[in-house]
Amino acid sequence: MAHVHYPEPQDGHVRMIVSQFDANQREAFEERAGIVEAGNPGMDRLTAERLAVLDVLANHGLPCPVHLLRVDIAGATDWVLTTDVEVAATTLTELGSPRIVEVALDEAVRRDFNDLAVLSRPPW
């Protein structure tokens, strides 16, 4: 399959997100931006790309998934965000955690943190 070259998105933040997309996500982004721009007379490409990236994220998820782990360690329950569950579990086990459970991030933030969770460095 030939490599397709797309123009760089105009917005720097959109460009950073799109650079993490796989080929299918990038194609969806370009297609959506074109449809939005063409279907809305007067809309500039910058706005169309911003809307398109939101659409791709809503339909395909984050390009780098984040996982939430509930961890029993040092006599307390802690919460750990990771992009690599296997590496995190190995590290946490080595630190003495007897129990590591992956939980849905959105559900945990709603249920366990009343819709607002604050990140901080672990004490261990």
pLDDT at 1 over 60: no
Q: Is 75 left (phi over 0), alpha (psi -120 to 50) or beta?
A: left
Tens of pLDDT, residues 44-94: 999 999 999 999 998 888 777 788 999 998 888 889 999 899 999 999 999
Question: Are the C-beta atoms of 82 and 88 separated by less than 8 Å?
Answer: yes
Question: Are the C-beta atoms of 80 and 88 separated by less than 8 Å?
Answer: yes
Tens of pLDDT, residues 88-107: 999 999 999 999 999 988 88
**Distance in angstroms (rounded) separating the CA atoms of residues 47 and 36:** 9
Q: Where are the domains of the chain?
A: 12-60, 67-113
Q: What is the value of pTM for the model shown?
A: 0.56
**Diameter over CA atoms, the chain:** 60
Distances (CA, A) of 72 to 55, 67, 94, 97, 121: 37, 16, 13, 6, 16
**Distance in angstroms (rounded) separating the CA atoms of residues 90 and 31:** 41
